[in-house]
């Protein structure tokens, strides 16, 4: 009932005014590590999917072509304001990550931070990221994941019923998800809370 795109649009519209207070400091180091794993080059075309209020903007290079989208209009308004206040040229759009309105093979880098554990169907999000990414593109992921080598136990699944209703799934496994999406993981760095939060860099297989 709670894990739907409609619910996500509603709840993130409600969360938008308080999102920075909750997420800015907590994930600062993790964002820096995740984005430092990308092999940046001047002029790259970059898409930030589910960009929220734009907290990644502080850690993105300025000499790239930047596009950032989110499902919730309230998030996109804050994202656009942040880009303007930082003096960054960012094309901001309201868009569903499951149905990206971009051509195939378009982006050098796709950033998916704290969205794969939120979307009801992360596989569709990854399929779309793979579609719009160039064959030699890079996918930068930061999120909460269950360990790849064992499924979540009953305790975690019970806790997940609560966390997924209010914020995020904690039972998804990065490697199976990314590999099923046609990606090869190049870097996988635990960044917070042991190995719950991981920063991954992947490329199309």
In the complex, what is the shortest distance from the CB of residue 56 to ligand SAM, in angstroms, rounded to a whole number? Answer: 6
* Backbone Cα Rg of the chain: 16
Q: Which is nearer to ligand SAM, 180 or 205 (CB)?
A: 180
Identify the helix (H) or strand (E) that includes residue 123. helix 122-132
Q: Which is nearer to ligand SAM, 54 or 137 (CB)?
A: 54
The residue with its CB nearest to ligand SAM is 52
CA 6 from chain centre, in angstroms, equals 18
Looking from the CA of 168 toward its CB, the CA atoms found within 13 Å total: 15
Pairing status of strand 90-94 against strand 107-113: unpaired
Q: Which is nearer to ligand SAM, 28 or 155 (CB)?
A: 28
**Count H helices, E strands: the chain?**
6, 7
In the complex, what is the shortest distance from the CB of residue 109 to ligand SAM, in angstroms, rounded to a whole number? Answer: 14
Residues that bind ligand SAM (CB under 6 A): 5, 8, 12, 23, 50-52, 55-56, 70-72, 75, 96-98, 113-115, 118-119
Q: Which is nearer to ligand SAM, 55 or 110 (CB)?
A: 55
Is the CB of residue 205 less than 8 Å from the CB of residue 182? Answer: yes
Task: Give 18: exposed, middle or buried? Use CB within 10 Å, 0-12, 13-18, 19+.
Answer: exposed
In the complex, what is the shortest distance from the CB of residue 43 to ligand SAM, in angstroms, rounded to a whole number? Answer: 23
Q: Which is nearer to ligand SAM, 47 or 72 (CB)?
A: 72
Which of 119, 98, 117, 142 shows the shortest CA–CA distance to 7? 119
In the complex, what is the shortest distance from the CB of residue 154 to ligand SAM, in angstroms, rounded to a whole number? Answer: 25
In the complex, what is the shortest distance from the CB of residue 149 to ligand SAM, in angstroms, rounded to a whole number? Answer: 26
């Amino acid at each position: 009932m709670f894990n739907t795109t409609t619910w996500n649009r509603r709840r993130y519209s409600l969360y938008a005014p308080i999102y920075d207070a909750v997420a800015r400091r907590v994930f600062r180091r993790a964002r820096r590590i995740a984005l430092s794993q990308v092999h940046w080059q001047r002029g790259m075309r970059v898409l930030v999917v589910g960009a929220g209020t734009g907290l990644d903007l502080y850690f993105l290079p300025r000499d790239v072509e930047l596009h950032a989208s989110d499902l919730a209009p309230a998030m996109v308004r804050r994202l656009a304001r942040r880009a303007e206040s930082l003096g960054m040229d960012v094309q901001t759009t309201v868009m569903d990550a499951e149905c990206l309105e971009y051509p195939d093979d378009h982006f050098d880098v796709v950033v998916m931070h704290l969205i794969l554990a939120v979307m009801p169907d992360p596989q569709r999000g990854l399929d779309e990221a793979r579609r719009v990414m160039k064959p030699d593109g890079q996918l930068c992921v930061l999120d909460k994941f269950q360990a790849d080598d064992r499924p979540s136990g009953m305790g975690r699944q019970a806790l997940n019923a609560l966390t997924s209703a209010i914020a995020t799934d904690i039972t998804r496994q990065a490697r199976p998800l990314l590999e099923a999406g046609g990606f090869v993981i190049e870097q996988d760095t635990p960044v917070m809370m042991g190995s719950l939060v991981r920063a991954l860099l992947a490329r199309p297989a």
